[in-house]
Structure 1
Amino acid sequence: MAQHDIKFALNHMVCPRWTPQQLIEIAAEMGLGAVELRNDLGENSILDLATARAAGQRARELGIEVLSINALYPFNIWNAEGAAKAQGLAQMVDAAGGCGLVLCPLVDADHTASDEEKRAGLEQALTELDVILGRYDLQGFVEPLGFPISSLRTKAEAVSAVEALGLERRFGLVHDTFHHQGAGETAFFAERTGLVHISGMEDPELVFEDMLDPHRLLVGERDRLDNVGQLRRLLKDGYEGYVSFEPFAEEVHALEDPVAALRASMDFVNKRLA
């Protein structure tokens, strides 16, 4: 895929101090086509229909696509509370004119379910979410989290469950470069991937299985996650969707000029892929 075919997007985690409207406006100023909204950023979260509608209106005015609200957590532990939360989030994605809902699994060292129980819980959640998301014609973006204590670490596990249920049209994967490396996964599922998240990790002393969200930077020269290699493989295998920046590090969030830093990271990735 040629350099100019990379479609970058902004996850609101690039700068949580921006309002949803500012995120959308900055994406437009940068010449980007899409954003991901979030429900975990305090006062700048999407937590009600009015806020979702206002963000969606601004996105439509500027021609920006709302890819998702991030996220339903823990999506794979299904109960009445989770069902109500899923319904509320689906309504907010719809109100924002969004494409889908990011689905993140439980991360808990005290979760003692067997592999069989985890699989059953995953299939139950996918089955129930198919109905909820279907009411609004939304996609479910399943994001395996590569932490050792995650209840769903690999994309292969997620694909297996989705295919067993015949729900390929409803659910796609989030390929997160950080979690792909953290899980030690080697399989790529470009044909099943609906969204890509990128972030970098530079600490030379850190082993991949010990990586945590605060280590997640923008992608640059010292990146140890092979973001460029992962993207090259996904694009070679036919991925044509958005590549969304998702840094969690406080040092990124505190940048005086996050737009300049984002442009520099985009330039770095594009040059390495060219």
Structure 2
Amino acid sequence: MASVRYALNHMAAPALKIDSFFALAKSLGIDSVEIRNDLSGNAILDGTKPAEIKAAAERHGVTIISINALQRFNEWNETRATEAKELIDYAAACGAKALVLVPKNDGTGREDGARQANLRQSLTALKPMLDAAGITGLVEPLGFEICSLSSKTEAADAIRELGAEGTFKLVHDTFHHHLAGEAAIFPDMTGLIHISGVDDKDVSVSDMRDPHRVLVTSADRLDNAGQVRALLQAGYKGPASFEPFSAEVHALKDPAAALRQSMDYLSSAV
């Protein structure tokens, strides 16, 4: 079976400036990184030009596999179209390969029928924009009960129905997969795995939220090892990107040591 190919999301060490973040990845032997547009005081929000990001990536020898993310992508309107164009242009200019697409997560748009129609409308609008820029759209269903797209099956069905498998791939997020309780995995349609663990023994699955998401350890309740193993055994060859949201992880003085420990654990467990 293939070994795990690791990637690093900037959420793993959000306090680091982009140059230091790329250096951290390389120090771990990781050459695939995800940058974000939701970290205040950091690229992209601080106004860093895409050419600077591209130069830093080339300097460190890393590939930017995605920008994370276009939020509320399945609520298509003029605002969303403008945001999408700006992020796709930025992705193309900085050398990023993909744009993560995150559904609205506020309890609206969940009704059967409207949910699927909204998804198809957005995918239809995004496809020519992404294709023109040569950027992949990474659709990331969220497992929260209030989310307007929690099923990877629904996302896969819509992508296939539109004949858009060349434009869109799925994100298999181990946290959201566990919360959604959906058995199906789509190795052939998966473009990225997001990995994070939950160690807290006291929180119920329905109460798990982003702040619970730590690096993967032997105490992990989400079965990251089993999820990643299943995808690899089924032929997935892409990266598995660390995306912990816990303040405890973000405060680590030595993120490299903690990440290395997690990589070692997961590689041996898979």
With the shorter chain as reference, the TM-score category is over 0.9
Structure 2 spans left out of the alignment, 5+ residues: none
Structure 1 spans left out of the alignment, 5+ residues: none
Distance 2:205 2:167 in 1: 31
Give the length in aligned residue pairs. Answer: 270
Residue in 2 that maps onto 1:87? 85
* 1:28 pairs with one of 17, 26, 29: 26
Distance 2:174 2:103 in 1: 17
- The residue identity in structure 1 corresponding to 2:25 is A
Distance 1:90 1:177 in 2: 26
- The residue identity in structure 2 corresponding to 1:91 is D
Out of 139-148 and 58-67, give the one that drifted further. Answer: 58-67
Distance 1:253 1:48 in 2: 19
Residue in 2 that maps onto 1:11? 9
Q: CA deviation at 1:114?
A: 2.1
Distance 2:124 2:184 in 1: 25
* C-alpha RMSD over aligned residues: 1.2
Distance 2:224 2:144 in 1: 18
- The residue identity in structure 1 corresponding to 2:173 is D
- Distance 1:113-1:249 versus aligned 2 partners, 3 A rule: closer
- The residue identity in structure 2 corresponding to 1:209 is S
Per-residue CA deviations over 1:173-210 (Å, capped at 9, x if unaligned) read 00000000000011110110000000000111222222
Is structure 2 residue 175 aligned with structure 1 residue 178?
A: yes
Tell me the secondary structure at the aligned position of residue 35 of structure 2. strand
Identical pairs, percent: 47
Per-residue CA deviations over 1:90-120 (Å, capped at 9, x if unaligned) read 01111110101000000012x1552111111
Residue in 2 that maps onto 1:204? 201
TM-score, length-scaled by structure 2: 0.97
CA contact (8 A) 1:7 1:243 kept: yes
Is structure 2 residue 64 aligned with structure 1 residue 62?
A: no
* 1:217 pairs with one of 197, 214, 217: 214
Query: Pairwise mapping of residues 97-136 of structure 1 onto structure 2 (< 5 A)?
Result: 97-109=95-107, 111=108, 114-136=111-133
CA contact (8 A) 2:74 2:119 kept: yes
Distance 1:52 1:24 in 2: 15
Q: CA deviation at 1:241?
A: 0.5
Out of 113-122 and 244-253, give the one that drifted further. Answer: 113-122
Distance 2:7 2:110 in 1: 36
CA contact (8 A) 1:48 1:92 kept: no
CA contact (8 A) 2:4 2:240 kept: yes
- The residue identity in structure 2 corresponding to 1:93 is A
